[in-house]
Chains A and B, each alone.
Chain A
Amino acid sequence: MDENKKAAQKKKVTHFITMAVLVILFLAFIFPFIMVIINAFKTKGDITADPLALIGSHGFILTNFTDAMKKMNFATSFTNSLMITTISTIFTILLSAMTAFVIVRNKWKACGLLFSLMIASMVIPFQVLMIPLVSLYGGIFGVLNSRITLILMHIGFSLSMATFMFHGAIHTSIPLELEEAALIDGCTRWQTYWKIVFPLLKPTIATVAIIDAMAFWNDYLLPSLVLGRKELYTLPIATQAFYGTYSTDLGLVMAALLLAMLPILVLYLFLQRYIVEGVTSGAVKG
């Protein structure tokens, strides 16, 4: 009895310490974000004067949001961003999971070569590819200023990392026996993949979806190279209107940031369930 009590007490203390550590770290992590929120409701003057004040001397203002929406052409940019991010993310996941599967399950030379190239390519600084990319697709093929081009480029650039992540997941957590059983039952490789393997990859799919969707949604450099027309602008390009060498309207920038990040936050909260679900469903057993 005494033993149990002691153990329970020890557990409580550990729990308390864990919680305290988490809360402190949490505050440190969240602090800059809180600053963005409070400053989005202030004038530029008030931000410089006292960034920590909850309400600036010009009062609580919403004009940053209305101005930002107007200047960014919000509805158009938002639709563009949404379309490009959604389509790119879906195709990246589908293609890279398939690629990873064929690489993991076969010891073919082509697979090894592709995988090595992909890994190496993740290390290429984007600046190296920037000018050649626009020279090829703008100067020679003339296919810039199109959303489809951007989507295909997004997919091309993100395949490597997504494949790399699926590679790890398939290698360690998809039991070969399940697939062999399905093959014996008369399934083709293609059917086995979609019926057995892909559903089991849910936690990784959710992770890749978040990481890639976030990368696409926030990417500035590539879209700014590909989309040179205002009606094609995505949110990050539209936000550039507030940045300057000699002056930057921080209130507007922060309001724009908040407007732009909400969808990703919602997506994250939604997908997080799947990361957890992947375990509780207990599908993965050795």
Chain B
Amino acid sequence: MSDAIIKTEHLRFAYAAEGGLSPVVLDGVDLEIEEGSFVAVLGHNGSGKSTLAKHMNAILLPTGGKVYVDGMDTCEDADLLDIRRTVGMVFQNPDNQIVANVVEEDVAFAPENLGVPPAEIRKRVDDALAMVGMSEYAAHAPHLLSGGQKQRIAIAGVIAMRPRCVVLDEPTAMLDPIGRDEVLKTIRLLNREYGMTVVLITHHMDEAAQADRLVVMAKGKVIADGSPRQVFQRVEELRAVGLTVPETVELCWELRREGLDVPLDAISDEECAQALYQILK
């Protein structure tokens, strides 16, 4: 498949421990991320979802199986920089990924590392800041910004590399609802307006619901893969692995148990209200 930007084949991973390998974190993951798609990876803590993310730009290397980024084997040392500039990575704590004490200097960090000419860096920095809606903060000190703003700067710092794919590892876990909204809006924009492939690692159902495709992980394996509508219908399976579903789906599911014929694919408030309305008619 040529249109898969990231591909894992029988990916297995276990951290090295004294006296051999510790328990397996990833246990045979086969996944293809199509270019231009918005994929959410859902799982509880310890399901292996963050470990999977770290394989997507060679921070971790498989102990079994293969990971390909745009056709490059992540185990090839020679391709390391190309892999990292193809797949950018945003982490949970925005404070710990901001390098410089001026916003635009920080966004310039990756292009500087790549040896991009100064005039081009200027353009990339301005573009990246505009894409995340932080242009007016170019000269600010990052530590005075809100959590959501900091995380948007971190995203700008990654997209200034002009990657084809951005992997975000629980980017909203430390943010308040306003910050979370800001970041999610930015992510959607990157995908819809700029065609960037987005992989969002999360344990928030409402965030996962916004993706085109939902991959659910448990115990190092993929246990469900499909559109949010398809996946959320499997309420009981999700609960069994420590996840919940959006309250809208849960309500429909509860009513179904009472013998009502409510569809389970009503995710948004409006869809749910309409579904309930239809029953009353």
Whether both chains belong to one complex is answered with no
Which residues of A come within 8 Å of B, CB atoms? none
Which residues of B come within 8 Å of A, CB atoms? none
